[in-house]
Amino acid sequence: MHHPRRRFLHLAGAAAFATLPRAAWAQPYPTRTVQIIVDLSPGLAPDVAARLIAPPLSQRLGQSVVVENRPGAGGNIGAEYVVRAAPDGYTLLAAISGNAVNAALYPNLSFNFVRDIAPVAFIGYTPFVLAVTPSFPAKTAAEFIAYAKANPGKINVATAGIGTAPHLAGELLKMMADINLVQVPYRANFMPDLLAGQVQMSFVALAPAIGYLRAGKLRGLAVTSAKRLEVLPDIPPLGDFVPGYEGSGWLGVGAPRNTPAAIIDKLNTDINAVIADPAMRARMIGLGIDPQAMTPAQFGKLIVDATEKWAKVIKFANIKME
């Protein structure tokens, strides 16, 4: 026996269901493990930060969040892995300032970081300290710049390698202050030579610098952030002496382009909540990270601006990767 009315109602219901926005009937995100790719070796600041936020982010998402290191080629291997991943929110990148630098440093990359990685959430800045040996004649950043102008090419600057964030922070200072510093790239830890006075200065990452600064083994003249830092309130920003200077690293979270906006917005909300927790803020500050929340659009603008800024520095310094 046929039931025309029942069949009509069934078809009408199916038609109405088909016209619903996809977000109204798609599976809720996430339904399985979320992976954060770190394109550097374990133990560095981006890796530590990713592992720090993973457990509370997992609690908020209701699914496991795992961190995997894929280092190599200056960070390009891990970044490309995420670029090629499905844009479904399950493969994320611990995006860092080095990714923006690489866009200019490696002209033949098979991907475009600005175009191919969608900004999700900002975690924070990773400032450096312009630190000198205690015997160095300058006691302030202003005296340092004056000394550098009077003694061109006589200040050796230890860096962690060509194209690294501390190297570029020094090149930015040379460009903006019109001074001549000699960059000395190290393959291994340069701290013993800096402490021994074999090199006179470096832009030192915050976490390893604090103990030496407090012990008087290094003298901090300025920080590369745009403002004073909670953990080193007595050290002024370099921008106070070189207007417009800002040379910090940063880190955040990115996703493959075309990741649905609803997934990006959810991740942004949850990551911002994680870093806003007072205990998490305190731990990050202790690691040398200045935590800040941003919208995806704000983080996207930061990435574009950083890419343009460091491209100018790389061109000025004629930096080329061998």
Tell whether the model's pLDDT for residue 299 goes beyond 60. yes
Question: How far is it, in rounded angstroms, from Cα 282 to Cα 17?
Answer: 48
0.85 surpassed by pTM: yes
- Is pLDDT of 28 > 80? yes
Q: Is pLDDT of 19 > 80?
A: no
* DSSP assignment of 198-260: SS-EEEEEHHHHHHHHHTTSSEEEEESSSS-BTTBTTSPBGGGTSTT----EEEEEEEETT--
Banded pLDDT at 207 (limits 50, 70, 90):
confident
In this structure, the dihedral spanned by the alpha carbons of residues 9, 14, 18 and 20, taken in order and rounded to 10 degrees, is 60
**pLDDT in the model for residue 16:** 43
Least confident of 188-192, 193-197, 250-254: 188-192
Strand order in the sheet with 91-96: 65-69, 34-38, 91-96, 249-256, 117-126, 290-291
User: Per-residue pLDDT for 7 more than 80?
Assistant: no
Best CA proximity match to 123, nearest among 194, 45, 179, 32: 45
Residue type, 94: A
Tell me whether residue 5 is exposed, middle or buried, using C-beta atoms within 10 angstroms of its C-beta: 0 to 12, 13 to 18, 19 or more: exposed
Mean of pLDDT values over 91-114: 94
Distance (Å, whole) CA 314 – CA 309: 9
What integer pLDDT is reported at residue 5 of this predicted model?
47
- Lowest-confidence pick of 32-41, 168-177, 184-193, 235-244: 184-193
Question: Which fold does the domain 128-240 belong to in CATH?
Answer: D-Maltodextrin-Binding Protein; domain 2 (3.40.190)
Would strands 128-132 and 91-96 be described as parallel, antiparallel, or unpaired? unpaired
Instruction: Specify the higher pLDDT residue, 12 or 305.
Output: 305
The pLDDT confidence band at residue 322, using thresholds 50, 70 and 90, is low
Q: What is the mean pLDDT of the chain?
A: 91
Domains 32-126+248-317 and 128-240 fall in the same CATH topology = yes
Asked whether the predicted pLDDT for residue 239 surpasses 90, the reply is yes
Report percent pLDDT > 90 for the chain: 81
What are the residue boundaries of the structural domains of the chain, listed by start? 32-126+248-317, 128-240
Region 200-216: mean pLDDT is 92
Using left for φ > 0, alpha for ψ between -120 and 50, and beta otherwise, residue 75 falls in left
The stretch 251-265 carries a mean pLDDT of 98
Query: Counting Cβ atoms within 10 Å, is residue 19 exposed (0-12), middle (13-18) or buried (19+)?
Result: exposed
- Report pLDDT for 45: 86
Q: What is the DSSP string of 54-77?
A: HHHHHHHHTS-EEEEE---GGGHH
Label residue 79 by pLDDT band (50, 70, 90). Answer: very high
CATH architecture of 32-126+248-317: 3-Layer(aba) Sandwich (3.40)
Parallel, antiparallel, or unpaired for β 201-205 and 156-159? Answer: parallel
pLDDT tier for residue 321 given thresholds of 50, 70 and 90: confident
The mean pLDDT of 301-308, rounded to a whole number, is: 97
> What pLDDT, on the 0 to 100 scale, is given for residue 188?
77
Averaged over 14-31, what is the pLDDT? 58
Nearest to 155 by CA among 192, 190, 198, 209: 198
Which residue is associated with the tokens 């019109």? 178
Instruction: Encode 121-186 in three state secondary structure.
Output: EEEEEECEEEEECCCCCCCCHHHHHHHHHHCCCCCEEEECCCCCHHHHHHHHHHHHHCCCCEEEEC
Of 272, 286, 278, the closest CA to residue 230 belongs to 286
